[in-house]
Structure formats: C-alpha cells, structure tokens
Amino acid sequence: MRNPQLNAAGDLIHLLTLEGLPAEVIRRILDTAVPFTSIAEREVKKVPLLRGKTVFNLFFENSTRTRTTFEIAAKRLSADVINLNIGVSSTTKGETLLDTIDNLVAMNADMFVVRHAQSGAPHLIAAHLNRTGRSDVHVVNAGDGRHAHPTQGLLDLFTIRHYKKEFHNLTVAVVGDVLHSRVARSLIHGLTTVGTPEVRVIAPQTLLPTALTSLGVRVFNDMREGLAGCDVVVMLRLQSERMKGALLPSAGEYFKHYGLTAEKLALAKPDAIVMHPGPMNRGVEIESAVADGERSVILPQVTFGIAVRMAVLSILAGN
Amino acid sequence: MNIAIRGGRLIDPKHDVDRETTLWIADGRVASIDASPRGFKAERTIDASGLIVCPGLIDLSARLREPGLEYKATLESEMAAAVAGGISHLACPPDTDPPLDEPGLVAMLKYRARSLNQANVYPVGALTLGLKGETLTEMGELAEAGCVAFSHADRPLIDTQLLFRAMQYAATFRYRVWLRAQDAYLARGGFAHDGEVATRLGLPAIPATAETVALATIIALARETGVHLHVCRLSTAEGVAMLRTAKADGLSLTCDVSAHHLHLCDVDIGWFDPQCHLVPPLRGTRDRAALRKGLAEGTIDLVCSDHSPVDDDAKQLPFGEAEPGATGVELLLPLTLKWATEDRVPLASALARITVHPAAVIGVDAGHLGIGRSADVCVFDPNEHWTVTRGALRSQGKNTPFLGLEVPGRVRYTLVGGQIVYER
Amino acid sequence: MKTKLPDAEQALAALADRMRGAIAFDARLVGIRSGGAWIADRLAQMISGDHPVGYIDVSFYRDDFNRRGLKPEVKRTELPFEIEGATIVLVDDVLYTGRSVRAAINELFDYGRPQRIELAVLVDRGGRELPVEATYTGARLAVAQDLSIVLSRDATGLLQLATEGADGAAEAVAPDA
C-alpha cells in the first residue's frame, strides 16, 4: 500500500499523519523549522516563499486557535489565506465534501489545511486529489477526529529536541485521555519513529484505547509509577464532556489521580520539561503552579508551532 | 419450453448428485436427470461442457431498496443483478422506507417482483412497527401477505421484554425470527471493530462484546420460547463458539455469515477506505478465521451476500460518515467459490451453503433439483476469473470493497421456473 | 576540456587587497551562505579595522522555489548588528546570474533600510541575468554554461575552487598563471 503522503520520488506532498512517515522526512521538517523561529524576532516577520499561493483553511470543526496559527504561518510566508468555516456537515450546504474540494481546486487553491470531526477526512481529500491528477494541491491535516494532528506532533517533537537536544536517550510520558486524543496518537507515532526508547502512556482504563501497546508504548494506570525518571511530561487536555458520564466520575477525582502537581512532577527527573497542547484546564489535568512554573515550556510550544507550520507549508509548496 | 442442459458437471447437494450428466427441463420443472424423458424434444439445448450445473442460488439477504430508496437502487436493477449472479431466490430485509410492517407494502413488493419475472422474492417482515422496537407488528397478516420470517434488520431492539414477547408470539404460530446480535449500548457511537486498527486510525469502536452480550440474550430467550431462531451476520470468533455450544446443547437454531466477513478483516480498511464501512464491522483476523472454520464445519449454516447497494454520494465521505453497506449479489457465488478453494472445502459442500441450506432457513422447498421441482438452475464456469469493476456490475450500487479485485466464477445461465432469465 | 580555475587563496588575497582602504571604516560584512560566509570570515581577519560579520541564508528569498522546492539544509540568517542606516558589504563566492545577490538584497531590506550596499565576490564568471555588479572582485573567468563553480573548504580552513560538470565530475585545476 503506497503511502498517500509521498510522491513517487519519496517527497512529501500531503501531511496527513506522522504514522508511517520516514524518520528522515520528520527530521527534515524539524531542521527546516529552526531558521523559521528567528523570523518572529524580526521587524518584518515575512518571507516571500509562498507569495502568489493560496492556502484555504477548511475547518469543518471549529478551532480558533489552530486556525489562527495556520493563518499566521501562511501569511508569514506571504501566502494568501482564505478561511472557510463549513460547519458540522457539508451536506447541510447540499454539496458533498469532494464537490466542495473540486470547486476550490478550480479556483486555483494551492493548499488545503483541513480540520474535520471525522477520522480520515483529510485522507479522503488527498486520495481524491491524487486520483484526479491534482496531487500538486497539497493537504495538511489540522486535526481529524481522534486520528491525527501531525503538526501538533511535529511541534511537540521540535520542542523536545529544542530542550533535550536528542531523542535516543529519553523517557517521555503522555498523560490523560489518550482514547479520544489525536494529539497523543500523533506524538506517539512521532516519538517512536525518531527512536525514542521509552514512550509511556498514563491514564485510567476507561481513557485508553484497545491494544495500545501495539503502538510501541508502555501503559501505566498509576501516575506516580509512570512519571518516575521521565525527561518529558506531556499533559493532555481533558474535555469537559468526558467528565460527566460513564468514563470518569468527576474532575476532582481525575485531578487527584492524574492531575500534574508539583509533588508528582518531583518524581520525574529534576530537569524534566512539562508540555501541554493547550488550552489547559487548570486544576483538572494540571495545577497552575506547574503550568506557570519554570519547568513548563507550554508557551514556547506555541511559538514553535508557528515555525513548524511554516516549515511544513514551505516543504509541501516546494514539492 | 423444453430445455436440455448437456454435458455439465451436475451438482445437487441435497440429493448427493455430483457427476457429468444432462439435466432435462420441461414445463418449467425438472423432468429428468441422465436419461431424457420419453418423447422429449428439446426446444433449446445448452452446451454446459466445462461448466457446473447446480440449483439456482439462494441469497438470504439482499436489499432491493424498494420501496422508498429508489435513488440507491430499484427492483429492476437489483433483480437483474441477482440473476446475473445466478440467484433464483432471495429474501429481502424489512428496512425499506417505509419498513415492511404492513401487509399492503409486502403484497406490493411481491407483485412488483413477480411481474419482473426473474428471481423469486421472499420478503422478511418487520418484527415491530416502523422497526422502532416498541410495538409488535401483525405477524399473521404479514405472513399471509407473504413474509417468510420476521426480523429487526439492523435497528436496535432494546426492550428485552418486548423481544421476549415477540419471540413467544412468533413461536406460537411457528413463525421464524431472524435477528442480528448487537447490543445497542455497547455499540453506541462506534463503527469499526475495537482492535488495533481502530486504535491506530482513531475510529470509534464496537467491541466484540456488543455481539456476544446480545447473542447470549437472544439464545437464552430462544431456548425459553422455543422459537425458530436464525442468527444473522455473525462477525466474532466468540459468537461462533457460542453458536457451536448452543447447537451442541440441542437448540435448533441456524446462523449465517456475510460473504464480506468471510474474506475481509479490519486491516482492509487501509487508509480509511469507506468501501470497508460495513455492518457488522469487519473484525480481526482471528474472527475471520473462526468464521471460515465455522462455515466449513457447519456451525454456520450458510453464507449470504448481504447485498446493500449504496449510492456514490453516500459512500464517498469520511469513513464514519459514509453509509455502510456494499453491493453483493453478483459476488455471492465468486466469493463462496474463493472460500471453498482456499479452505479446500468440496464444491458440493460449498454450494449447499448457498442453495439447500438457505432454502431450509426460509422454509421453502427450493435449492435442489429434485424431479418435478421448479427448474431453478444456475450454470457457471468455475474457472473463469473476472475483475470486479463498476462496468461489470449490473447493480445500481457500484460500491464494494472488492472493486478492482479478480474473483473466480462466472455465471453463464440462470433459469427460474424453467425460463432462461439470464444468459451470457 | 579542462577549465583553468584561479587558485582560491590567491583570489582571496587579491580581493582583500582591493577592499583594504576602500571600504568604509564602519562597513559590516554580510556573507551569503555558505561560501560567502567563509569568505566574509577570512576577510574580516585579513582586512584591518573593526568590521563585524553577519551571515545570510537566502533560501527563503530565492526565485526558483517553485521549480526546485526548499533546499534540505536551510541555515539561519544571523545579523548581530543593526541594518538600518548601515553600510553593508555583501560577500559571495561566485557571482554568476546575480539572482542570489538579488535575493540577499531583498532579505536585507526586510531587516531594515541600509544606507549603502556594496558587493564583494571571490570570482566573477559573467553570465549575468540581472543588472548586478560587484564592487570588489577577486578574480574573473569565463566558464561554459553547463558547468558550475563550487567553493570548498578543507579541514584546515583552506579554500579551493572546483568545477562540477553536467556529469557531476569535479575538476580541481592547477592555478592560473
């Protein structure tokens, strides 16, 4: 089965998931992001790389944060950005998803940044473009269902590499609602691909998907055990819907067992860093003292996120 | 018309016939095998050398989409597809629009089907009104109108007391009840098998327990009520084991598997291929192996096509939004042959699972070539392989996970009631 | 047919000679990566006076992005001084079509408005496609279009020029007389 993200020469033409990407492709994106970090510090925060290109933000699921960072990234590359908030279902417009894509391609779209509530939607679009001979139009997955959020995974890898220099001697813990998390899946695939020797997942049984160890991780239900000796702690957001209903009894109960406090953080290595994809639920998955503390790199993650997205857009546009 | 089908390998599993010989047809019935009837003058002779001659195939589940869902398929297109697949009898589930919960609808369907003069159609009636799971239908009226059994298609029947009453009622009149085992709560929100693939792809999952929990309920109630139960579309290894135990216990129930689940598993979803969005979901490799073994040893009685044509607009969507279902009547024979060859099941045995066994479940005297019986015959070339393409399918629904694949077995002639309704 | 290339070290010495005394006392050297960066470093040592050195990577400003995509190694642009109002000497190894220089000038202007930009090149091989000229030149030569000229630096820091032909063969040639 050919990887739909790569062309015949092995170049990246779509970014849909980190799963199955060659380590070399991932490293190249991280390396390319490095010079982009300094652009934010200049007065003119733009380079002309994507000038004349049109990037469509197709958000079928609302997200001001992600959409804004992609918009900033594209504009810093001098691209034209058009935001389409299509709402929950394309069928409410009476037009199928693929018909919408065909129309936008006919309007000379160069790139689609797609967020969708259904896992696999960006794959459907990319397969359609490949099949109709338009693989020159690139798809970036900005989050599909619980499947993948590859740019988040990449910026998490970038952040880890920035503070820890290399992956080959790290123990990384991912804590929280892995079952519903595309951020967790992408990060796990990214970490295992670049050779992180120990990737841990810490969560109660109800928040863990089946057969998780097949992804190459060690599963812990006890947070203290799981945090022991970690170099990186990644806290996942717990959505409020999960807190009522059958998965968890309450936020308080969750915080007691799986919330990151200074006391629990002390079990990790003394120079361990704390990450979070945001937005944070303070007092649910993480206490403020830790979120704002000196081991937290949560704000730098946001800055790196723009540089990483600029790198992704540039690499795709050039292939 | 007098027809002689000469020189083919005649396989009639019910009567243990498997030899090269001639089948003689007169007045729409099987007149003789081997020697010609006295004074027989063939008006049409079919040269079946190199071909297999067997009873017309019987498909236990083929959705014709009429009434109500004509944009997906019509009786005309699907009946043409069925006979192209060698099928002479088929049963259609009650989940039309409106559902088959009213004698008038059933009569209309039968009438329409009969006027097309192709395969025999056996409607399966709805167990509850509107398939809502609240009130029993008038099973007597529906049976009189032509329903051969009652089912709940894929709609949830959550009220177990209602289910119990429905089975009791059906048992009273010896009506057959066909049920698919799925616990609505355990399956809620899911559409892929709960395993490695769903985890990797981030697809909301349906655990195997959704089937086994419901199956335990259905079996217990069947035991209690003594109803004629048929379990539809088994999908789990555990489910097969439970059926094996129930049968060994002396319970007389039957069950089937869909041709898709004999061959495909969750890995075939690949990169979210919506063609593989089916109900029940494609499960793991162990489940598939257990289903194949179950069918070979007889724990699973028969295989059906689970024909459910879906229009392109409804299929070309992200996996979870894509409508489940695949077109299947033209693939029932090839997929059965493929299984038989791969698992070294004797041809006669394999053909029994799409002729005489489904006939028994429907409760009709068909699926065999006994003298004097209606001449419903399928003549096919077991060695001809063909590629499944949109153009090759006669069904209006062109969506199947087997698109682009090569399958064995091409139907050359289909006869229903002694008339050639399809030839190639 | 072998092209006779000048010796890089000799060309560098000649370039430094021409720049010494001619560039402004407060001129800042900006080397275009990678060859220009090496040369800027050497020039700073060879020319007296305090001339801070910066480095510019023009990958994001090239005009052939659509045809060739992003190069795998993009390095940082490091300009540790004010561009606004400054006198800049851009330094490059080989001046050919002039497109790299155009990209470098565009990039510099995104950092500020310089008062003056001059251009110093080790080798001018002609073949201009844009109206760009070097202020200071180390050596000139004529080269066939299908050959590229590449500057390399060995472990001791010694610079060397070589050609890469259409078949990728590199020829280091004896110094021009």
Could you read off the pLDDT of C51-67 as tens digits, one per residue?
A: 999 999 998 898 888 77
Helix axes B237-248, B285-297, angle to 10 degrees: 30
Q: Which subunits sit against B, judged by 3+ Cβ pairs under 8 A?
A: A
- C-beta atoms of B318 and A121 within 8 A: yes
Measured CA to CA, the distance from residue A273 to residue A231 in angstroms comes to 7
Which residues of B belong to the active site?
Answer: 306
pLDDT digits (tens, 9 = 90+) for C2-13: 567 889 999 999
| Domain identity same for A44 and A62 | yes
Lowest mean pLDDT among A187-191, A202-206, B64-68: B64-68
CB-CB contact of B377 with B48 (8 Å)? no
- Whether residues A35 and C110 touch (CB distance < 8 A) is answered with no
**Any domain includes A78:** yes
Q: Give the closest residue to B118 by CA, choosing from B351, B328, B404, B423.
A: B423
Written as six digits, the tokens of A297 are: 């790199």
A114 with A251, same domain: the answer is no
Beta bridge partners of A233: A173, A274
Kindly state the tokens that stand for A115. Answer: 């967020």
- What tens digit of pLDDT does each residue of B2-26 get? 999 999 999 999 999 999 999 999 9
A319 part of contact set with chain C, CB < 8 Å? yes
Whether residue A242 lies within 8 A of chain B, CB to CB, comes out as no
Q: State the pLDDT confidence band at C163, using cuts at 50, 70 and 90.
A: confident
Q: CA B279, B284, B289 angle in degrees (round to 5)?
A: 105
Q: Are residues A257 and A308 in the same domain?
A: no
Residue B198 sits at the chain A interface (C-beta within 8 Å) = yes
Structure tokens at A74: 């594209």
Cβ-nearest to B199 among A4, A120, A209: A209
Task: Assess whether A92 and A227 both reside in one domain.
Answer: no
Q: Is residue A17 part of a domain?
A: no
pLDDT tens digits for range B291-340? 999 999 999 999 999 999 999 999 999 999 999 999 999 999 999 999 99
CB distance A33 to A304 below 8 Å: yes
Average pLDDT, chain B: 95
Would you state the pLDDT for residue A277?
95
A168 and A283 belong to one structural domain? yes
Bridging pattern class, strands A54-59 and A80-85: parallel
Pick the residue of C34, C56, C57, C65 with the most A CBs within 10 A to test the interface with A by mutation: C65
Tokens coding A43: 């007065």
CATH number, domain C13-138? 3.40.50.2020
Q: Please check whether residues A311 and A230 belong to one and the same domain.
A: no
Q: State whether residue A97 sits within 8 Å of chain B by CB.
A: yes
A14 vs chain C: nearest CA distance in angstroms? 14
- The interface residues of chain A toward chain B in range 16-55, judged by CB-CB distance below 8 A, are 19
Do residues B128 and B92 make contact, with C-beta atoms less than 8 angstroms apart? no
The answer on pLDDT for A90 being more than 70 is no
Alpha helices in chain A (DSSP H): 23-37, 64-76, 97-106, 121-131, 150-164, 182-193, 223-227, 240-243, 251-258, 262-265, 288-291, 298-317
Q: List the CATH number of the domain containing A104.
A: 3.40.50.1370
Question: A 22-51 residues with CB below 8 A of C?
Answer: 28, 31-32, 34-35, 38, 42-44, 46-49
Looking at the fold, whether A221 and A204 belong to one and the same domain comes out as yes
**What residues are paired with C153 via a beta bridge?**
C159
Maximum C-alpha span of chain A = 57
For B202, the closest of A1, A146, A211 (CB atoms) is: A146
Residues A136 and A248 both lie in one domain: no
CA distance C58 to C63: 10
CB contact under 8 A, A185 and B319: no
Residue A13 counted as domain residue: no
CA distance B200 to B93: 34
Does A314 touch chain C if contact means CB atoms closer than 8 Å?
A: yes
Query: Both A103 and A223 in a single domain?
Result: no
Name the residue in chain B with its Cα closest to that of A4. B271
Give how far the C-alpha of residue B113 lies from the chain's centroid of Cα atoms, to the nearest Å.
17
A308 and A281, same domain (yes or no): no
- Whole-number Å distance between alpha carbons of B70 and B67: 7
A chain contacts of residue B319, beta-carbon cutoff 8 Å = 118-120, 124
Sorting pLDDT into bands at 50, 70 and 90, what band is A243? low
Residue A38 included in any domain? yes
Mean pLDDT in residue range B209-238: 97
Q: Are A19 and B316 within 8 A, CB to CB? A: no
Residue B283, token pair as written in the block:
């499960």
Question: Does C contact A via 3+ CB–CB distances below 8 Å?
Answer: yes
Longest distance between any two alpha carbons in chain C, whole Å: 48
Q: Is B375 on the interface with A (CB under 8 A)?
A: no
Q: Please, which chains are in contact with C (at least 3 CB pairs closer than 8 A)?
A: A
List, for residues A48-74, the tens digit of each pLDDT value. 999 999 999 999 888 889 999 999 999
**Chain C residues with CB inside 8 Å of A47's CB?**
60-61, 107, 110
Chains A, C: CB pairs < 8 Å: 48
- Express as a percent the part of chain A with pLDDT over 90: 80
User: Is residue A40 situated within a structural domain?
Assistant: yes
Please report residues of C whose CB lies closer than 8 A to that of A26.
none
Quick check: is A11 in a domain? no
Domain assignments of chain C as residue spans, ordered by start: 13-138
User: Which pTM was predicted?
Assistant: 0.88
pLDDT band at C18 (very low <50, low <70, confident <90, very high): very high
Chain A interface includes B41 (CB < 8 A): no
Count of domains for chain A: 2
Residues B43-102: tens digit of each pLDDT: 999 999 999 999 999 999 999 988 888 777 888 999 999 999 999 999 999 999 999 999
Contact predicate B235/B194, CB 8 Å: no
Residue A49's domain spans which residues? 23-148+303-316
Interface contact A148-B274, CB threshold 8 A? no
Residues of B in contact with A212 (CB under 8 A): 199
Q: Which tokens sit at A95?
A: 């037009």
Q: Which residue ranges form the domains of chain B, and what is each CATH number? A: 3-53+373-383+404-423 (2.30.40.10), 56-362 (3.20.20.140)
Assess whether chains B and C touch, using the rule of 3 or more C-beta pairs within 8 angstroms. no
Q: Is residue A237 part of a domain?
A: yes
Same domain, A154 and A289: yes
Residues A242 and A141 in one domain: no
Whether residue A201 lies inside any domain: the answer is yes
- Mean pLDDT across the stretch B367-374? 95
Distance from the Cα of C69 to chain A's closest Cα (Å) equals 4
Cα pseudo-dihedral B153, B156, B158, B161, rounded to 10? -10
The DSSP secondary structure of A263-287, one letter per residue, reads: HHHTTS-TT-EEE--S---BTTTB-
User: Which residues in chain A are closer than 8 Å to B267, comparing Cβ atoms?
Assistant: none
Find chain A residues with C-beta within 8 A of B203's C-beta. Answer: 119-120, 145-147
**A312 contacts A29 by C-beta, under 8 angstroms:** yes
Chains near A (3 or more Cβ pairs under 8 Å): B, C
